[in-house]
Amino acid sequence: MLNFAWKVFCVTGNVETYLLVKEMENYSSDEGKEVVEEVMGEGEVNVPFT
């Protein structure tokens, strides 16, 4: 779920989505935080608009 929220933020730049990502980080375990750092390091996400 965090991965999806981060990708949505990357595509839209929506501040509320960013705040959701940060809130989800706060509830995640230490292992989850490693995943967040990995996802944030992926760079640009290409999502086709329909």
Question: What's the pLDDT tens digit per position in 11-27?
Answer: 999 999 999 998 888 87
- For 3, phi then psi, to 5°, come to -60, -45
Look-up of token digits 């779920």: 1
Distance CA 21, CA 2 (A): 6
Of 1, 44, 39, residue with least CA distance to 20: 1
C-alpha to C-alpha distance for 43 and 50, rounded to whole angstroms: 22
48/24 Cα distance (integer angstroms)? 25
Mean of all residue pLDDT scores within the chain: 74
Q: What is the pLDDT of residue 11?
A: 93
pTM of the model: 0.51
What's residue 10's pLDDT? 92
